[in-house]
């Protein structure tokens, strides 16, 4: 059983202001980097705000990351201090945090101090003079440090996002722009007030939590439920249990949570009292219309507003959204662009497309929460995000989208899912669904690889349900693609492998396949890959491929 406790704003302020004093005692000054390797604890909230208070730049690192992913980030930022915990608790088991950090700290000479929160009280190795427990540090501090003025364009925090090439990108957000835009976002997408009991289910390691709870959320004085744990333990009803137990009326979560609840259906829902619930806001991936209807009718008894939003770590806000209580929703869409966000949907040539047509979603005017650069790599920021032909100052989302005749935005997937074969735009998703029609094929990923003549050519990487000879496989796949799409889309090679790289949520990591296929020896950021152990074998399997005309 978890233990819960209540904290008042005054206590949070006191801890934050004393922690700010603690950070200064440990030598942290304005502009220094503080890495925060923690789950959703009250101390995490205080630690982040203590950094903002003294102008230190914080980098929150997802506490589920491997030591290597943590190492990449600490090295790239040059962190001077790390705040972590002895252990975290997941599904009733203690998982190491400080021990993970200890594995790699010798490789990060920039780190001068480590502050350790006692989450479980488990034994951890502490390095004399470098490491200190959070409560030992704070117990000697009475003095509160006042907020330090920081110019509006100075960096406030860094958040890493997976890259399409070798290194994850450290997106730099300003503290002040983020505060203004995140609070605006929360007001329109949730309409929080001091009367509300509100819960954001995201982990602090994803930007959703800083926007909708840590910074934007806290600006409205609601009662916040902070939960450190997974949503399917001790049983699948955890989400309902927490809403019912704390009489929550507004919740922010991810579509995947609702998919899973809808699959369990009404029996799981029946024992809980969700009658106070007024609003569910969402971000993360498309919400299918079927799940939307189930949530609306069953979970929400047609009384709960569902606000499915869209945003990226780069945009720092979920900038397409319903204006809650005011604008109608379309089940499955991502709402309307919020005031202050000018956008367009454009063709490959950078020309706006008509309503109802697919193109790339772009943002055409500055707004406060847009990431300002990539840490240590400003050139990459320009080349990755500002490459729309004829419009060097438009931000490219890299997402394919449609705006319908009512102005609602539908995000369909990454534009990388489209490949250009001899000037024909082909959807890799469409090709993959053709491949799955071959009975022997279990899973399929189609990747575009550069080709001197055609620009790009499709290559299919598949896992097999039943063994099949390579020539027969190639012939069957070609026929299936020919039947369903056309000759132009036939893959130049079909490579069977034992396993495909996947994320925790089971999505195939196509960019990694591309890195491996193109044969640069560097592979992309693998921190999001669940089954990293397969990569060695996969690399060999892809190397021995035989390209066919």
Q: Which residues bind other proteins (CB under 8 A)?
A: 149-153, 174, 176-177, 179-180, 183-184, 187-188, 191, 193, 278, 289, 296, 300, 302-305, 322-333, 336-340, 342, 356, 358, 365-368, 370, 372-373, 381-382, 385-386, 393-395, 400, 402, 404, 406, 410, 412, 427, 429-430, 433
Return d(Cα 247, Cα 198) in angstroms, integer: 9
**What residues pair up with 437 in beta bridges, in sequence order?**
none
User: Minimal distance in Å, beta carbon 393 to other proteins?
Assistant: 4
Return d(Cα 76, Cα 381) in angstroms, integer: 15
Return d(Cα 310, Cα 285) in angstroms, integer: 8
Considering the complex, state which of residue 218 and residue 324 has its C-beta at the smaller distance from other proteins. Answer: 324
Considering the complex, state which of residue 339 and residue 549 has its C-beta at the smaller distance from other proteins. Answer: 339
Considering the complex, state which of residue 203 and residue 288 has its C-beta at the smaller distance from other proteins. Answer: 288
Return d(Cα 308, Cα 291) in angstroms, integer: 12
Considering the complex, state which of residue 327 and residue 531 has its C-beta at the smaller distance from other proteins. Answer: 327
User: Minimal distance in Å, beta carbon 344 to other proteins?
Assistant: 11
The answer to whether the CB of 372 falls within 8 A of the CB of 155 is yes
Considering the complex, state which of residue 96 and residue 340 has its C-beta at the smaller distance from other proteins. Answer: 340
User: Minimal distance in Å, beta carbon 235 to other proteins?
Assistant: 29
Return d(Cα 508, Cα 107) in angstroms, integer: 31
Considering the complex, state which of residue 55 and residue 210 has its C-beta at the smaller distance from other proteins. Answer: 55
Structure tokens belonging to residue 337:
């662009």
User: Minimal distance in Å, beta carbon 376 to other proteins?
Assistant: 16
Nearest to 61 by CA among 50, 47, 180, 220: 47
The answer to whether the CB of 492 falls within 8 A of the CB of 545 is no
Considering the complex, state which of residue 314 and residue 515 has its C-beta at the smaller distance from other proteins. Answer: 314
Query: Cβ atoms within 10 A of the Cβ of 250, count?
Result: 26
User: Minimal distance in Å, beta carbon 191 to other proteins?
Assistant: 6
User: Minimal distance in Å, beta carbon 152 to other proteins?
Assistant: 4
Peptide bond just before 221 cis, omega within 30 deg:
no
User: Minimal distance in Å, beta carbon 515 to other proteins?
Assistant: 26
Place of tokens 């915990």: 85
User: Minimal distance in Å, beta carbon 336 to other proteins?
Assistant: 7
Nearest to 210 by CA among 342, 313, 131, 324: 313
Nearest to 385 by CA among 370, 395, 374: 395
Structure tokens belonging to residue 129:
């003079």
User: Minimal distance in Å, beta carbon 518 to other proteins?
Assistant: 26
Angle at 413 between CA 407 and CA 415, to 5 degrees: 100
User: Minimal distance in Å, beta carbon 523 to other proteins?
Assistant: 28
Considering the complex, state which of residue 302 and residue 466 has its C-beta at the smaller distance from other proteins. Answer: 302
Considering the complex, state which of residue 39 and residue 175 has its C-beta at the smaller distance from other proteins. Answer: 175
The answer to whether the CB of 12 falls within 8 A of the CB of 6 is no
The backbone torsions φ and ψ at residue 9, rounded to the nearest 5 degrees and listed phi first, read -55, -40
Considering the complex, state which of residue 121 and residue 194 has its C-beta at the smaller distance from other proteins. Answer: 194
Going 112 to 118 to 122 to 128, the CA torsion angle's sign is positive
User: Minimal distance in Å, beta carbon 165 to other proteins?
Assistant: 19
CA 149 to chain centre: 30
Return d(Cα 88, Cα 2) in angstroms, integer: 13
Considering the complex, state which of residue 182 and residue 243 has its C-beta at the smaller distance from other proteins. Answer: 182
Burial class, 79, CB count within 10 angstroms (exposed 0-12 / middle 13-18 / buried 19+): buried
């Amino acid at each position: 059983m978890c233990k819960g406790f209540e904290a008042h704003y005054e206590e949070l302020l006191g801890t934050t202001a004393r922690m700010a004093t603690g950070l200064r005692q440990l030598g942290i000054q304005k502009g220094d980097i503080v890495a925060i390797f923690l789950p959703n604890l009250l101390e995490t909230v205080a630690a982040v705000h203590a950094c903002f208070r003294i102008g230190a730049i914080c980098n929150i690192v997802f506490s589920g990351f491997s030591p290597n992913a943590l190492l990449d980030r600490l090295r790239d930022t040059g962190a001077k201090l790390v705040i972590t915990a002895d252990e975290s608790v997941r599904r009733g088991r203690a998982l190491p945090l400080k021990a993970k950090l200890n594995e790699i700290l010798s490789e990060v000479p920039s780190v001068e101090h480590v502050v350790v929160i006692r989450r479980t009280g488990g034994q951890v190795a502490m390095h004399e003079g470098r490491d200190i427990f959070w409560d030992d540090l704070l117990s000697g501090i009475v003095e509160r440090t006042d907020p330090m003025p920081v110019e509006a364009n100075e960096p406030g925090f860094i958040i890493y996002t997976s890259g399409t090439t070798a290194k994850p990108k450290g997106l730099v957000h300003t503290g002040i722009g983020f505060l203004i835009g995140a609070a605006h976002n929360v007001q329109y997408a949730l309409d929080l007030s001091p009367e509300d009991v509100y819960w954001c289910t995201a982990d602090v390691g994803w930007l959703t939590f800083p926007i909708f709870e840590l910074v934007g959320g806290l600006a409205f004085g609601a009662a916040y439920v902070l939960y450190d744990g997974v949503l399917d333990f001790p049983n699948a009803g955890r989400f309902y249990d927490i809403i019912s137990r704390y009489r929550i009326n507004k919740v922010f979560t991810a579509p995947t949570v609702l998919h899973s609840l809808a699959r369990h259906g009404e029996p799981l829902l029946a024992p809980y009292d969700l009658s106070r619930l007024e609003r569910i806001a969402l971000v993360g991936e498309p919400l299918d219309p079927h799940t939307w209807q189930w949530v609306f009718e069953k979970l929400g008894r047609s009384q709960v507003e569902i606000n499915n939003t869209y945003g990226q770590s780069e945009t720092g806000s979920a900038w397409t959204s319903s204006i809650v209580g005011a604008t109608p929703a379309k089940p499955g869409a991502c709402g309307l662009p919020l005031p202050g966000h000018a956008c367009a949907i454009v063709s490959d040539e950078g020309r706006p497309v008509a309503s109802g047509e697919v193109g790339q979603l772009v943002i055409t005017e500055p707004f406060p929460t847009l990431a300002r650069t990539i840490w240590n790599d400003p050139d990459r920021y320009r080349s990755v995000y500002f490459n729309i032909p004829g419009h060097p100052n438009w931000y490219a989302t890299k997402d394919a989208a449609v705006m319908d005749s009512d102005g609602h935005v539908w995000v369909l997937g990454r534009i990388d899912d489209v490949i250009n074969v001899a000037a024909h735009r082909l959807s890799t998703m469409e090709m993959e669904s053709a491949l799955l029609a071959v009975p022997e094929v279990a899973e399929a990923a189609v990747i575009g690889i550069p080709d001197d003549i055609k620009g790009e050519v499709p290559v299919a990487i598949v896992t097999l349900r039943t063994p099949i000879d390579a020539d027969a496989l190639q012939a069957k796949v070609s026929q299936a693609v020919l039947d369903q799409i056309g000759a132009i889309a036939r893959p130049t090679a079909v490579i069977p492998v034992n396993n495909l790289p996947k994320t925790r949520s089971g999505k195939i990591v196509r960019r990694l396949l591309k890195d491996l296929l193109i044969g640069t020896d560097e592979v992309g950021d693998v921190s999001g890959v669940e089954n990293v152990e397969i990569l060695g074998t996969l690399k060999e399997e892809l190397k021995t491929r035989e390209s066919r005309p």
